[in-house]
Amino acid sequence: MGLQKGIVKLEKYNPNWKNMFEEEKKNLEKLLKNKVISIEHLGSTSIERLSAKPIIDIMGVVENLKDVDEFKHLFTPHLGYDLKDDFGEKEEYLVIKGSEENRTHFIHIVEVDKERYKNFVCFKNYLLEHKEYIEKYEELKEDLSIKYEDDREKYTSLKNDFIQEVISLYKEENNL
């Protein structure tokens, strides 16, 4: 479990990823108590049959991003966390768990009902409802992981058009 910063290496779907999410969810619930609305598994590790980087993506949902000021001090290096603040650019706080040599979790703290939150939910739901898009996404990720194995930023950015298309399809189907 885990991957070096900047590297792209996909693994076939692993059913243990769900257990790893549940374990980290318990850790976060204990750490944060009732400071978040929900803690959800997202990203490729949350979708059966989909290859993924062996890093668990988690979404922590809050009423307001300003609420994070009350608990961001809890994400300490001593516990293996590194909180990144993009100053509102992506409408989230990103908490990375693990060292640069072995990143294991990305925790996206987002505001409920904001665009970032909705996009995470729409993308996951569409893939779960349309299995053929899991296959399309799988092919894209495999191709990009070979071309950009040492450039995670490029790998991630080149998936964006597909992700935006899927989000649009979900919103269109659900009149959002």
Give per-residue pLDDT as tens, 107-165.
Answer: 999 999 899 999 999 999 999 999 999 999 999 999 999 999 999 999 999 999 999 99
Q: What percent of the chain has pLDDT over 90?
A: 83
Contact 83, 94 (CB under 8 A): yes
What architecture does CATH give domain 16-173?
2-Layer Sandwich (3.30)
Exposed e or buried b per residue across 130-164, where buried means at least 16 C-beta atoms within 10 angstroms of its C-beta: eeebbeebbeebeebbeebeeebeebeebeeebbe
Least Cα distance to 109 among 81, 74, 83, 76 occurs for 83
What's the pTM?
Answer: 0.91
Contact 93, 72 (CB under 8 A): yes
State the sign of the Cα–Cα–Cα–Cα dihedral 55, 56, 57, 58.
negative
